[in-house]
A and B are shown apart, each in its own frame.
Chain A
């Protein structure tokens, strides 16, 4: 009885009696969710246009952030470094298209997936070679990202919102909105959806696959850079950041690999769910459950709804 009380009653009593903590937890979850959504978005972009599950998305986040900080360390002004990093991401997109995708065109999805493994190790090596393996501090101040917190009194206590988190949510929202409009309204967006549906038909109407691939990899690179800046500003920039890509996997399973709204909703559900469960139910299991909780949700989805919440069709098992 005591256990049942602790599982089903006590957490809700706590939520009721300390609404400030509830709001704080929800907000923290929301921010984490927005960042998960951003990472998932990188995967979805590339998967939609080329059917490739890009294992290298995580390392692209690290590589972008590392390039930005590394350039700044060598005396390049912050915003010039940002511009140069964007150029580097474009070069990476062109390089991937020329050297990885084009030679492997018409190969099975699995071969392309393995190729992105190769890309991952290449980027790890290149990053370490050029910028070294030491953790770095994100140049948040030089990019005029806000720091500090806004404290909000009320609800029987106080809730604090980190300014960097507010910025992260804001920038993520803008990014998602721009991408959504871009894919819905523009010629290139229509071409991209066309490529996602049928390579053959897209070719026959004169859509250039090469061009579309460069565009999506570049877009994914920009998303990776944004993720790197935001996540890096909250912790630091090093190669362990790569594993945040793995945190996006449950998001993808929840949202479906082909859906941009799915990535967002999935990210928020996982982010908020993770933090709530950790805070209110975590102590029952000795804490630390946010590291595996999302995978359990994902497992449930794989069993009962493998196409995700918004997925178009049954995804292939990878």
Chain B
């Protein structure tokens, strides 16, 4: 039997590889010698108990943190650290664990902001809304409307994001990331705090993005059911170290993983 998604895990080439990355904040070791890769077209889950370094890992990948050692190879190009601008430029988009939206702006403007890097016309033309800049704006608006339709948030597109319920804000954040037309989409707990129905919607969106647009996805998630259903491969972190890296079924039976979640060696709660 194949994976739960009944699809070949033998996916494309390596899109991004993390090699021996270590990261420390003062005396706190957030990541220790972590290596794994993300292949083109797959959904890669990063799981682990609280404080395992999952979000730190995403922050290293999109350049918010600079690792102390190790390197990151993105699209075949090795570098000691990403920079946020270079990451966005290279096609890495992300969402955040605790939502980072432009709260004062409308849903539409938030998603349009995701196209910041794609708009190239000089501001003078934009100022007078004329000629090529107008055409460009219209073209971007069309793409953004497509995303809005896809995420089924057309009804709220003119509403200020800060006034929306949490589940919808999460969806808008995903929309903004999609507007970047990313090659690699990093999702930090996309289902956190959602009810069952919202989780099902979000799972569906994630799968559709992956299948229809072929977007590679790396996601952090606590809900094991979701991880097992969605992901092609899973990397497990605990105390900043990689303790397992396998297909979902493999991870489920892994001794180290079970121990980490039950907390045996450290004597703390899971």
Q: Which residues of A contact B (CB under 8 A)?
A: 178, 181-182, 185-188, 190-191, 193-194, 196-198, 200-208, 312
Contact = CB atoms under 8 A, between A and B. Distances in A.
Contacts of B96: 200-201, 204
A312 B126 CA distance: 27
Interface of B: 62, 64, 84-85, 87-89, 93-94, 96, 100-105, 109, 112-114, 116-117, 119, 121, 123, 126-127, 129, 176-177, 179-180
B32 to A, nearest CB: 24
A204 B62 CA distance: 8
B116 A200 contact: no
Q: Which of A181, A188, A191, A204 has the most CB of B within 10 A?
A: A204
Given A198-B102, A200-B100, A191 B123 contact: no
B88 A188 contact: no
A207 B100 contact: no
Contact of A206 (B105, B109, B180): B180
Contacts of A196: 104
A201 B109 CA distance: 13
Given A191-B113, A197-B103, A201-B100, A206 B123 contact: no
Contacts of B62: 204
Contact of B126 (A185, A193, A202, A203): A185
What DSSP secondary structure best describes chain A's contact surface?
A: helix
16 contacts: A178-B127, A182-B127, A187-B121, A190-B112, A193-B109, A194-B102, A194-B116, A198-B100, A201-B96, A202-B102, A202-B113, A203-B85, A204-B177, A205-B93, A205-B117, A205-B176
A250 B88 CA distance: 41
Given A191-B113, A203-B64, A197 B123 contact: no
Contacts of A181: 127
B17 to A, nearest CB: 21
Contacts of B180: 205-206
Contact of B104 (A188, A193, A203): A193
Contact of A190 (B64, B87, B116): B116
For the complex of A and B, 9 pairs with smallest distance between CB atoms: A206-B88, A201-B100, A197-B102, A186-B126, A203-B84, A206-B117, A186-B123, A187-B119, A200-B100
B103 A205 contact: no
Nearest to B84: A203
A197 B88 contact: no
A236 B37 CA distance: 66
Given A203-B64, A206-B89, A197 B117 contact: no
Contacts of A193: 102, 104-105, 109
A286 B100 CA distance: 55
Contact of B84 (A188, A194, A204): A204
Contacts of B114: 205
Given A181-B127, A206-B180, A187 B116 contact: yes
Contacts of A182: 123, 127
A63 B184 CA distance: 48
B88 A204 contact: yes
A9 B239 CA distance: 77
Nearest to A178: B127
